[in-house]
Each structure stands twice: as C-alpha cells, then as structure tokens.
Structure 1
Amino acid sequence: MDGLTQVTSTVDEETGSILLCCLHPRINEYNDVMMYLLQCNMDIQYLASGEASTATLYYITDYMTKASLKVHAGVTAMLCAIQKNRDKFCEEEGVPCAVQSKSLVVKLVNQIGASQEMSHQQLMSFYVGGGDCYRLHNFSLLHWGYISH
C-alpha cells in the first residue's frame, strides 16, 4: 500500500502488472462478499502477473521448503526437556515409570513446539489425535452457481 488511489483497474504496460481499482489510500483490496460469508478479516492481493507475483511466489516457495527446525536447536530443546523432567522427579521416589514417561513426552512436545515456527495449538492438535489440520470452525462447501443467479 503506497497511499495511491486509482479509479479504474488497468494494466501497467511496463511491468505487465494488473493495477486494481483502489478508492481509499489505506485500505487493501478486499472482497466484501467473502468478508461477509467468512466473517473474518482478510488481506487479498491479486498476483496474476508482474514482478510482485514473481517476488511473492519466490517468498512463499522459500518459506515452505526451508527446514523448520535445525538439528542443533532440536537436540538442545530435547536436552532441556529431559533435564526439566529429571529435576521434577529426582527427589520423588516411587513415581511410576509411566507417569515419568508421559511427563517427559509432554515436556518434549512443549519444548520443541516453542522452538518451531508452528503454533502451539497446531502441535497439540496433532499430538492429541486431531491431525495436522488445525482450525477453529467447520466449513461447508459453497456452490457459487446457486448464488450468482
């Protein structure tokens, strides 16, 4: 957002970018129908052509393919969790091995989760059997053909 307004949508001859209509200098492009139906904030950027789409595609590809946790960071997180678990149970005698093991697994998940670029909620959803898809709402299929007529 550069603060410029544009009354009509045009194509930039120099870069091939599509410049969408923007009537307010500080509001991103948005789709009011989608905002109403999803009832959430959104930020839409049209990326069909031009330098912006190339740069965005590079950024997304680079972000998705990078390793999320380096080996040394993972080992450090595991060592920290093991030490915390050892400190917790070192003075207590007679604690069942199953309790200590469960405590260690929870500490490992929490410690590694704090070191990753994933939200804690995503990790815990997977850990408790919710799968690798974390969402707050259930969504239904919407057929645009029925709405557009």
Structure 2
Amino acid sequence: MRRSHPWINNFNEWLISACRSNMDIKFIWSANGAKALVYYITAYVTKSTLAFHNMFALAQQGVKSIEQQKVTNSIDNAIEKSRKFVLRCYNMIASQQEVSGVQVASYLMNYDDHYTTHTFRNLFL
C-alpha cells in the first residue's frame, strides 16, 4: 500500500514509542470537529459491555428473587421495599459487568479514577 492510501493512518513513530500505544494523528480544523471528537471519546470511554435487553433480563431476575424471598418482616414500608428492589437489581447488573485488566489493576493499586484541578464540596439544599 502507498503511504498516501486512505486506509493508512498518520502516525509518528516517536510518539508511538513514548506513549507505548496505538495512535492516530488527525488535525482538527473546526469547532464541529472538536465537538465530534469529544463525543467520540466520551462514548468510547463510557460504553457498556452489557446489551440493553440483557440488563432488563437481569433486572427481571432481581424481581423474581425478591418475589421468591420469604417475607421476614412485613413491617417494611414501601420506601424500604423499593430500596431493596433497586439495590438487588443494581447488584444483578453490576455482577455481570465486564471490567478491563487496566481498570482492575488501577483499582488494586489505588490509583485515582479521575484527575482534576478543582476541589469539590457537597451542597445540601
């Protein structure tokens, strides 16, 4: 293939060796291009490995397990039952979520999951 073939990405071998990763160099000419890049990166980083219909199936399993559970305390009010339901569904979905090796290593080594220059405070209204 020729160097100028449309399927060949622009690259810099010095950056590849410094970053130790694959890369693609592209100049962003416009604000629309910058917004599209931010959208692409955000969608890539936050993509879910579970399909939407699989999440509903897992939530349904959570509902069935709650229904099959013996009622040990009939005094539980609706808020407590709702809290248990949401927690059960979340645990069912979270237990099936795939995690990359890099994420596992960063959690085990207690690395931060985000970096910011600002300090945030809770605001209670």
Same fold per superposition (TM over 0.5): no
Which structure has the larger Rg over C-alpha atoms? 1
